[in-house]
Amino acid sequence: MTSEGSAGAGRYAPSPSGELHLGNLRTAMLAWLFARSTGRAFLMRVEDLDRARDAGAAEAQLAELRALGLEWDGRAVRQSERIELYRSALARLDAAGLVYECTCARREILDAVRAPHAPPGSYPGTCRDRTPRERAAARDAISPRLPALRLRTPSGAEELGFEDLLMGRVSGWADDLVLRRGDGVFAYNLAVVVDDAEMGVDQIVRGDDLAPSTARQIVLQRLLGLPSPPRVSYAHVPLVLGPNGARLAKRDGAVTLSDLAERGVAPDEVRSRLAVSLGMAEPGETITMPQLLGRFDPARIPLEPWTWCDAPDDGSALQRPDHP
């Protein structure tokens, strides 16, 4: 168990697009353990900005987390209640000359020529330096669709590194990211940066698939004058994979609490077996979240993904087959 004497906060932030699967639940457990072991509050945020992906699963997700033994401080906040915060941040960036319209379609971005060292999918700057007349013509050309709004990063694009509590030194590409989509929805990167700062979150634990996007968020933090590393710490945790080696998904069988309940596997058993996958419990051992907190040591978290195989009716395949 670690102690940093911190009075900040950690958080878990699910998107209500469906039931939480074992990978989501494992990450939530780790976020709780990181926060509680360092004296931080633990907060819950429902990331429901993208209404097209909102399956109305927020309350069910919160119930699933409670069933697993997680509790959080205060009420769960919803991004859909916080639009004015994002609008204010966008206005500040715009006033500083850091926002411009972008009419590029996704395919145009993927097909564009970019610098040799730029990663695939990074924005090539197509709309960045258009004149007012060119912007107006481009806007007319996509009507009635509206342009997206992008951040004019001071360097245009750069590779930026940060220290991760688990992964060590991590580098990511910070380009002219989207701040607000053409349909008016504020982008994830802007919303998460504003939310974490406003909520006092200074410890961010999430899946390691999100590590590359952290560079973009750090740029936004700095431009908005918000806390950034080293005042904000990151821990990107390994994912849970399906038997085909891809990220766990519903197609991989019984992967949610409700799926497993139908096979007679209770939430307490799910928690205990997830603890086994993290090297924090013995097979067959019943363990609570407070007991896990007493055993928690970030240095002992496995750094490789956990591979899930679907179970027979007794749930016995809730195991870690890559580490017998």
User: Which residues are annotated as part of the binding site?
Assistant: 11-15, 47, 102, 104, 123, 127, 188, 206, 250
* 169, two tokens: 């030194």
Backbone angles phi, psi at 270, to 5 degrees: -60, -45
What whole-number distance in Å separates Cα of residue 258 and Cα of residue 213? Answer: 31
CA distances from 243 to 209, 234, 235, 254 (A): 18, 28, 25, 12
Q: Could you tell me which residues are annotated as the binding site for L-glutamate?
A: 11-15, 47, 188, 206
What whole-number distance in Å separates Cα of residue 291 and Cα of residue 293? Answer: 5
Q: Pick the closest to residue 9 from 92, 77, 88 (CA basis).
A: 77
Q: Could you tell me which residues are annotated as the binding site for Zn(2+)?
A: 102, 104, 123, 127
What pairing do the DSSP bridges indicate for beta strands 148-151 and 178-180?
antiparallel
Helices (H), the chain: 22-37, 58-68, 83-95, 106-111, 132-142, 188-199, 214-223, 257-262, 267-277, 289-295
The alpha carbon of 48 is separated from its chain's Cα centroid by a whole number of angstroms, namely: 13
Q: Could you tell me which residues are annotated as the binding site for ATP?
A: 250
